[in-house]
Amino acid sequence: MISSQDITGLILAGGRGSRMGGVDKGLQPFKGQPLALHALQRLQPQVGQCMLNANRSLDTYQGFGAPVHPDVLPDYAGPLAGFLTGLSHCTTEWLLTVPCDSPCFPLDLAQRMTAAAQQASATIVLAAGPEVGRDGTLQVRPQPVFALLHRSVLPSLQAFVAAGGRKIDAWTAQHPQALCTFDAPGDNVQAFANANTLQELMALQKMPNTAD
């Protein structure tokens, strides 16, 4: 069994925030506190320890009480840069990543992701969950920034990004992986809703039961 103590949680807050007008997305308010802090507090009970990946406002992030690590790659190189940073600082067997802009992710995320890893003997597990499509219908889609990574995949990720790779699925395809689907009765349909714009953030705050 994979214990929660074997997992380090990583909040990904290192993006440019381009679609939010360049603001630091992780510091935008949600339910009375910064998005990244909300995500951190939601993840902490599920794992042994947590850290944050951020590239600016480092003093503010450090005030959240968890270690803060800027990207080990330059120029805001995307989610894989966050994965690489997290794995480079991870001292446990597993790293669980969550983005700062999806503050309603499941409270049993770690438990179900590790169960999927064990069942499939996978070194990478990616989440999949319900989203409301542009046509208004509910669809289950991969959520690749919600990733459970075994620390043994670090060398391959280093080689992949050194060769210019930036796409998550192109890298994860190199490893035994599993998909952990969150679409059972009782799952929150807004669990993986994210706020790419200030308008989306405002809409997310108005949705009922978004923190359940």
52 is in an annotated binding site: no
53 is in an annotated binding site: yes
Please determine, for residue 211, whether its predicted confidence score (pLDDT) is greater than 60: no
**Residue at 59: amino acid letter:** D
129 is in an annotated binding site: no
Residue scoring higher pLDDT (131 or 60): 60
Q: What is the pLDDT of residues 22-50, one digit of tens each?
A: 789 999 999 899 999 999 999 999 999 99
pTM: 0.94
All structural domains of the chain: 4-206 (3.90.550.10)
Please determine, for residue 3, whether its predicted confidence score (pLDDT) is greater than 80: yes
Q: What is the pLDDT of residues 97-115, one digit of tens each?
A: 999 999 999 999 999 999 9
| CA within 13 Å, CB half, 124 | 23
183 is in an annotated binding site: no
71 is in an annotated binding site: yes
Please determine, for residue 158, whether its predicted confidence score (pLDDT) is greater than 90: yes
6 is in an annotated binding site: no
Residue scoring higher pLDDT (71 or 17): 71
Q: Across the chain, what does the average pLDDT equal?
A: 92
pLDDT (0 to 100) of residue 212: 52
Please determine, for residue 209, whether its predicted confidence score (pLDDT) is greater than 60: no
25 is in an annotated binding site: yes
For residues 105-129, average pLDDT: 97
What would the DSSP string read from start to end of the chain?
---GGGEEEEEEE-S--GGGTT--GGGSEETTEEHHHHHHHHHGGGSSEEEEEESS-HHHHHTTSS-EE--SSSS---HHHHHHHHHHH--SSEEEEEETT-TT--TTHHHHHHHHHHHHT-SEEEEEEEEE-TTS-EEEEEEEEEEEEEGGGHHHHHHHHHTT---HHHHHTTS-EEEEE--STT--TTTT---SSHHHHHHHHHSTTTT-
